[in-house]
Structure 1
Amino acid sequence: MDSPRDTRVPDDWPTACEVGVAGNGILDFPHVNHAARAVTTTFHACSRYRRTADDDQKEAPVNGSLPATPHPATDVLDHGWLAGQLELARRYYGQAPGRVLGTVWWYSASSVLVGQPLHGLLAGSPVDPSLDAVILRILPDGRFLDAWSNRPLDGGLPEFGRRLHDALEAAVRAVAAVSGARQPALWAVATDSIASRLLQAGQADGDVQRAVQLAAELAEAVGGELPTPRFARVGPHLVVRRASCCLIDRTPRGTTCAACPGQHPEERERRIRELLG
């Protein structure tokens, strides 16, 4: 049985901005997901994160001492490779059930996989989101740096949605098979990654409304098991109304995200307001 959720925050845990937030005052949000830190630092944003003695090395800027290795995204379908990635996640986040580590890993992986293709789609220059078109860059400790596709895509939103569905469906099946996580839960994680990335891209491009509209249109184009992305206003801030739990609070190194859907709505709104100011 999973341990109860712990929303207490020790004084020595650092904070960062909330995942899936676009609005005034979140000027450094893109750097939480990109730049000199690996994408799994998004978990610093959705919870508070216990520092250990080796965190300075793990969270050092990406440079010559922390080389990122390119991997074809089709590696995600290799059960042996994926098991190795989950073992790296276990070393990084601590001992946890396989379904927890699989969900935590997928929360980061799905965000990376969809990020650049979604920004291109919003900008009117779509690229192919198929796994065989995407390259992942991964650090030695298993954290993702980024991903990209250089294959232009014709066919508009319907074709983009079809290919994204095929990519997500194959990846979800593989992660579920290796980790024991439930496929519907992994699809919910994917829709939150889509919502967060489009909201981030809309903020960067100055067209958040278009990004929110595109999220709904894309979910319809993807179809199948993908829930419709949801957004909500919390004060002046537009945030993702999450459909998924990343389960980071079920590892030894994380607590419940401010936006976690497992909380009472009033508690969730209170924590988001407190976080965003």
Structure 2
Amino acid sequence: MNSVHGEAMTRPEWLAERIAEMGRSWGTETPRVAGTLWWCMVASALVEQLARAYVDGVPAPVPALDRLDCEVRPDGGVERVRVLPGTESADAAAPALRATLEAVIPAVAEVSGAGVASLWAVTADAIGNRALDAGDAAAGVRLAREVGGKLPAPRFVEVGARTFVRRISCCLVFEAPGCDMCTSCPKRPAEERLSMLRELAGGD
């Protein structure tokens, strides 16, 4: 895998190439779909370290663009985002994430045609999922609140003995050839989605 600095995610040519690669890997020529799928992966990788730090109650890394090291897969996706160490206060983590998102999301939207609000919603769901993975949904809400700006707060739903993100975003994967909607997709009818989540929760 190649590694690039965070600033690459604001460069239109670089973004267009990565999103096109993602589209080819999913069999779609629609930039809006490929761009949204690409951002779903990036957002998840970008917030993972912060969400875990918030859950663990330790100082969070400061994800300023010039401090990000991004591992890029052959399909254009970002496998991992590593925040390089620095000397800033941990209180700078959430404002730095907000500044990074405010720089990258409009660039992704411009290149792909995906809606800016939709990409912010994807980020909120990513924070929720990474916080759940780390063991504390409330930490994700706290992180999103501290980031502020256009970032919505992640929402959650209890189904059986499990907690799921009550998604506010759609990754558009169902628009790619041969793919279906995600189980938790907000575009599914509510009863159908709940029934599928119940089945998933019962599988533990």
Aligned to 2:63: 129
Q: Decide which moves more: 146-155 or 220-229.
A: 146-155
SS in 2 for 1:218: helix
How do 1:8-157 residues align onto structure 2 when only pairs under 5 Å count?
Answer: 68-123=1-56, 124-152=58-86, 154-157=88-91
Q: Is the 8 A contact 2:2 2:72 kept in 1?
A: yes
Aligned residue identity for 2:60: P
What do you get for the CA RMSD once the two structures are aligned? 1.5
**In structure 1, how many angstroms separate the alpha carbons of the residues matched to 2:6 and 2:186?**
29
Show the counterpart of 1:233: 158
What is the distance in 2 between the residues matched to 1:215 and 1:118?
Answer: 6
**Which residue of structure 2 aligns with residue 272 of structure 1?**
197
Unpaired runs of 5+ residues, structure 2, are none
Which 4+ residue blocks in structure 1 deviate beyond 6 angstroms?
Answer: none
Which residue number corresponds to residue 105 of structure 2? 172
Aligned to 2:139: 214
Instruction: Tell me if structure 1 keeps the 8 A contact 2:51–2:143.
Output: no
Residue type of the alignment partner of 1:236 = A
**Match of residue 32 from structure 1:** none
Please, what TM-score do these two structures have when normalized by structure 2? 0.92
Larger Rg: 1
Instruction: String of CA shifts for 1:195-217, please: whole Å, max 9, x gaps.
Output: 11111112xxxxx2xxx222222
Amino acid at match of 2:32: R
Displacement of 1:154: 4.3
Seen in structure 2, the aligned counterparts of structure 1 residues 116 and 275 have a Cα distance that, compared at 3 Å, is same
**Cα-to-partner distance string for 1:204-252 (whole Å, 9 max, x where unaligned):** xxxx2xxx22222222211111111111101110111111000010111
Alpha-carbon distance, 1:152 to partner: 4.3
Structure 2 partner of 1:6:
none
How far does residue 74 in structure 1 lie from its aligned partner after superposition? 1.4
1:86 aligned counterpart, secondary structure = helix
Q: Which has the higher contact order (CA 8 A, sep 6+)?
A: 1
**Is the 1:194–1:215 Cα contact (8 Å) retained in structure 2?**
yes
Q: Which amino acid aligns with 2:153?
A: T
Partner SS state of residue 148, structure 1: strand
The count of residues paired between Structure 1 and Structure 2 equals 201
The residue number in structure 1 matching 2:168 is: 243
Answer 1 or 2: which has greater helix percent.
2
For residue 269 of structure 1, report the CA deviation from its aligned partner: 0.9
Q: Percent identity?
A: 36
Residues 152 and 122 of structure 1, relative CA distance in 2, 3 Å threshold: farther
Work out which of the residue numbers 120, 124, 134 in structure 2 matches 1:187: 120
Partner of residue 198, structure 1: 131
Question: Alpha-carbon deviation of 1:177?
Answer: 0.6
- Cα distance in 2 for residues equivalent to 1:143 and 1:160: 24
- Check whether the contact 1:134–1:147 (CA below 8 A) recurs between aligned residues: yes
Distance (Å, rounded) in 1 between the aligned partners of 2:112 and 2:77: 17
What residue identity is the alignment partner of 2:120? W
